[in-house]
Each structure stands twice: as structure tokens, then as C-alpha cells.
Amino acid sequence: MNYTEKLKRSVKSSNSILCVGLDPVPENIPQTLRNQYKDDAELIFEFCRRVVESTKVHACAFKPNVAFFEALGVPGWEAFEKLLDVIPSNRIVIADAKRGDIGNTASMYKRTYFDRYQNDAITLNPLMGLDTLDPFMNDSSKGVYVLALTSNSGSADFLQRRFQGRLSLGEYISEELSKKQSVCSTHIGMVVGATQIESIAPVLNAFPQSNLLIPGIGAQGGSIVELDKALDRHTGIPVVNSSRGIIYAGGDEENWSELVSEKASELKENLNRITVRYV
Ligand SMILES: O=c1ccn([C@@H]2O[C@H](COP(=O)(O)O)[C@@H](O)[C@H]2O)c(=O)[nH]1
């Protein structure tokens, strides 16, 4: 099954375009769990396992951000690997690694995330050039999400600058990705931030059939209503991520995992009300 088919199947079976971001910080994990697990790697694994358990009916995808696992060294990587086993196989796993390097190094990243961990997709940083994407490009069962218009304010520094007569570097990247897609079997998607709605149109217009990974809803304050308008003519499948806004929704309450589930359900419903065309 190719990546887009798997993504569509996952959106259909969950009736959702929500992606739950797994960014576990030991100190922010509910106190009840911290009391039970003194080892940070065990703690983040158990926390993420329960988040997945509580949200899997509301989400089509999970996005572990590898930074939060590698910060714990080898035990953190083991926690990452164990976590992959508890994510249902009919859900998409996007490794948020933002990799990008010369070919022989990039092929090791590909080996790690596509071959070793069997992730469905990875995020890539294209700023070292389009050739850095090549090692990931010939597997139709996989997807990549390339940073085109990031959600942080620093996206103004490069990605939103005018470039080669285009409105922005992000627009140019999108155009180039669209050309690349015509000669590659891996699905090329883009990361576009929900916080950058005023700059999003040219980026989407240059590659309207690309699947999208959209961070910026929740803790970063992006608006779903504005996002819906911006996606009006886009034909690729958007997956909308929220990390902190969901996983820490339970605070230190005893019933934190129920509150996490409720938050994911609420966000899914809000997304469905206005992005009904995708589900
Ligand atoms: O442009 C980007 C690209 C990636 N991210 C990542 O998404 C999540 C967002 O977390 P929230 O807690 O929902 O703000 C996080 O892993 C980022 O590294 C992004 O925010 N913006």
C-alpha cells in the first residue's frame, strides 16, 4: 500500500485528520505517574503509551519528536522504539526528526527511520539542498514532510523572504518539491505552520496535491477557522498536529488521561466540523 493510501485509510478509520504530537518532558508529566516511575526513560515511555491509548480513536497519526527521546540517550532511544510497538498499525507514525544532510549521511537517516524503525514518514529540512532528499525518494510506502513554511517566528528569517522572483523561499521550495514529486515514488509532503496563514497561499498553490503536516494549533495559537479557509483549494491531505495542547491537557489531575482523551476528541470534532471534506 502506498503512503497516501495508508494515510487515507487511517483518516477514514479514525474519522480524523488530527495528529497527536508526542513531545514528552519528564518534569511536565502528571505527578501521579512521576511518583510511580523514577527512571526518566520508563516515565516518558509509560506516559506516551497512555497518551496513545487515550487518543488513538481520535487521531489518524502520531508524531513522536525524536529530540525528546534522544535527550535521554540510549534509554530514550529504547523508549522511542518500544513506543512504536504500542501505536496501532492502522495509524500513521511520522518521525519528527527534521533531518537534512549530504547524501551518504542522509542515507543513514533513511536507514534509521524508514528501515530500522519502520516509520511511515519523516520530517526533513531542505536547506542543505534538494539532493539531501534523494536517499528517501524511492519508496512509495513512505512519506516525507519537508519544511516549507515553519510555524515559528524565525520562519520570517529565511522561508518567508523573497527568493528568485517568488514571494518567498517557501514558495520556491514548494515549486521544486512539486517538480521532484513527478520523478519520485516516495510521497513528498510539506510542513506548513497554522500560525503563518497570511503567507501560506503561494506555498500551497505551487504544490496543491501535496499532503501536509500542519503544526501550530493548540499551544502555538493557530486558528482552525483561518486554516480551513487557507486549505480551501488544496487537494492533498492535511494532518493537523497538536502536541503540548493535548498531551499535557490533564495537568496533575488523577484522571489526567481522561482529560487528554477529551481534549483530543474536542480537537478532532473542531477539525471535522470545518474540514469535513477530508474524512
Ligand atoms: O514548523 C514547525 C515544524 C515542527 N514543529 C513541531 O511540532 C510540534 C508542535 O508542538 P506544540 O506543542 O503543538 O506547539 C513540536 O514537536 C515542534 O517541534 C513545529 O512546531 N513547527
- Do 200 and 215 touch, CB atoms closer than 8 A? no
What's the mean pLDDT in 112-120?
A: 98
What pLDDT score was predicted for residue 276? Answer: 66
Report the distance separating Cα 213 and Cα 18, nearest Å. Answer: 10
Q: Is residue 220 part of a domain?
A: yes
What pLDDT score was predicted for residue 274? Answer: 78
Position 278 pLDDT exceeds 80: no
Task: For residue 210, give the CATH number of its domain.
Answer: 3.20.20.70
Query: Letter for the amino acid at 41?
Result: A
Position 123 pLDDT exceeds 70: yes
Look up the pTM and report it. Answer: 0.98
* CA 7 to ligand 1 center in whole angstroms: 20
Helix, strand or coil, per DSSP, at residue 146: strand
Q: Which residues line ligand 1 (CB under 6 A)?
A: 21, 23, 65, 96, 150-152, 191, 193, 215, 218-220, 241-245
What's the mean pLDDT in 172-196?
A: 98
User: Please, which pLDDT band fits residue 279 given cuts at 50, 70 and 90?
Assistant: low
Q: Is residue 279 part of a domain?
A: no
Report the distance separating Cα 42 and Cα 239, nearest Å. Answer: 29
What pLDDT score was predicted for residue 210? Answer: 97
- Do 38 and 31 touch, CB atoms closer than 8 A? no
What sign does the dihedral 33-38-40-46 (CA atoms) show?
Answer: negative
Q: Is residue 184 part of a domain?
A: yes
Which range of residues forms the domain containing residue 184? 3-274
Give burial (CB, 10 Å; 0-12/13-18/19+) of 183: exposed
Catalytic pick among 6, 98, 142, 180: 98
* Residue 98 known to be catalytic: yes
Q: Is residue 107 part of a domain?
A: yes
Phi, psi of 263 (to 5 degrees): -65, -40
* CA 39 to ligand 1 center in whole angstroms: 26
Phi, psi of 207 (to 5 degrees): -150, 65
- Count CA within 13 A, CB hemisphere, residue 18: 31
Report the distance separating Cα 165 and Cα 140, nearest Å. Answer: 33
Testing ligand 1's pocket by substitution, the residue of 18, 22, 23 carrying the most ligand atoms inside 8 A of its CB is 23
126-160 pLDDT tens trace: 999 999 999 999 999 999 999 999 999 999 999 99
Report the distance separating Cα 245 and Cα 247, nearest Å. Answer: 6
200-238 pLDDT tens trace: 999 999 999 999 999 999 999 999 999 999 999 999 999
Helix, strand or coil, per DSSP, at residue 257: helix
* CA 161 to ligand 1 center in whole angstroms: 21
Give burial (CB, 10 Å; 0-12/13-18/19+) of 241: buried
- Counting the structural domains of the chain, the total is 1
Phi, psi of 92 (to 5 degrees): -80, 140
